[in-house]
Amino acid sequence: MGGTVPLGYEAQDRKLVVNEAEAATVRTIFHEFLRAGSVHRLQDWLRENNIRSRRSHHFFRGPLYTILRNPHYLGRIKHKKDSYPGEHPAIIGHETWDKVQSLLDGNIQGKHRKVRATKESLFTGILFDTAGTRYTPTHANKNGRRYRYYTSRAVIKKNEKSNAPARISAHDLEKAVIDRMLNWLQSPAEVLAALRDETVATPPEGFFARIIEQAATTTQSWCERIAEDRTQFLKNVIERVMIRSDYVDIRLRVPALVNEILGCGSPSLGLPKTASLECPFRHVRQGRAVRLVVGDTSLTTDASRKAILKAIARARRWYEQITTGQASSIEHLAGMHGVSPRFIHMLMKLVPLSPRSVESFLTNPELMPISLDDLLTAVPINWREQTFGRFAKSA
Q: What separation in angstroms does the CA of 331 have from each of 32, 187, 207, 322?
A: 42, 22, 16, 11
**Could you tell me if 318 and 335 are in contact, meaning their C-beta atoms sit under 8 angstroms apart?**
no
Phi, psi of 394 (to 5 degrees): -100, -10
**Nearest CA to 351 among 393, 391, 321?**
321
In angstroms, how far is CA 164 from the centroid of its own chain?
Answer: 28
Q: Which residues contact 356 (CB under 8 A, 6 or more apart)?
A: 383, 394, 395
Q: Please, what's the largest Cα pairwise distance for the chain?
A: 72
Q: What is the pLDDT of residue 347?
A: 84
**Nearest CA to 89 among 65, 110, 72, 107?**
72
- Helix 302-323, helix 355-363: angle, nearest 10: 150
pLDDT tens profile 248-269: 899 999 888 888 887 654 555 6
Give the predicted TM-score (pTM) of the model. Answer: 0.55
In angstroms, how far is CA 294 from the centroid of its own chain?
Answer: 17
Q: What is the pLDDT of residue 279?
A: 83
Number of neighbouring beta carbons within 10 Å of residue 21: 9
Phi, psi of 21 (to 5 degrees): -65, -45
CA–CA dist 194, 303 (Å, integer): 9
Going from the first residue of the chain to its last (395 residues), give the mean pLDDT of each consecutive group of 10, the final group possibly shorter: 75 90 95 91 91 84 86 85 85 94 77 47 91 90 84 76 77 89 88 72 74 84 79 91 86 88 61 84 55 48 69 87 89 81 83 75 59 62 51 39
Q: What is the pLDDT of residue 299?
A: 40
Helical segments of 76-226, H only = 94-117, 153-156, 170-185, 188-195, 207-220
Q: Bridge-partner residues for 284, per DSSP?
A: 291
CA–CA dist 388, 394 (Å, integer): 10
In angstroms, how far is CA 342 from the centroid of its own chain?
Answer: 19
- Cα angle 157, 160, 165 (rounded to 5 degrees) comes to 90
**Nearest CA to 240 among 82, 358, 64, 122?**
122
Classify domain 9-117 by CATH number.
3.90.1750.20
For residue 287, with 0-12 CB atoms within 10 Å meaning exposed, 13-18 middle and 19 or more buried, which class applies?
A: exposed
CA–CA dist 171, 294 (Å, integer): 13
Which amino acid does the sequence have at 167? R
Q: What is the pLDDT of residue 159?
A: 62
Instruction: CATH 3.90.1750.20 in the chain: give the residue spans.
Output: 9-117
Q: What is the pLDDT of residue 334?
A: 82
**Could you tell me if 279 and 264 are in contact, meaning their C-beta atoms sit under 8 angstroms apart?**
no
Q: What is the pLDDT of residue 283?
A: 58
CA–CA dist 211, 189 (Å, integer): 12
* Ranges assigned E (strand) in the chain: 9-12, 15-18, 76-79, 82-85, 127-129, 135-142, 145-152, 167-169, 238-243, 247-253, 274-286, 289-294
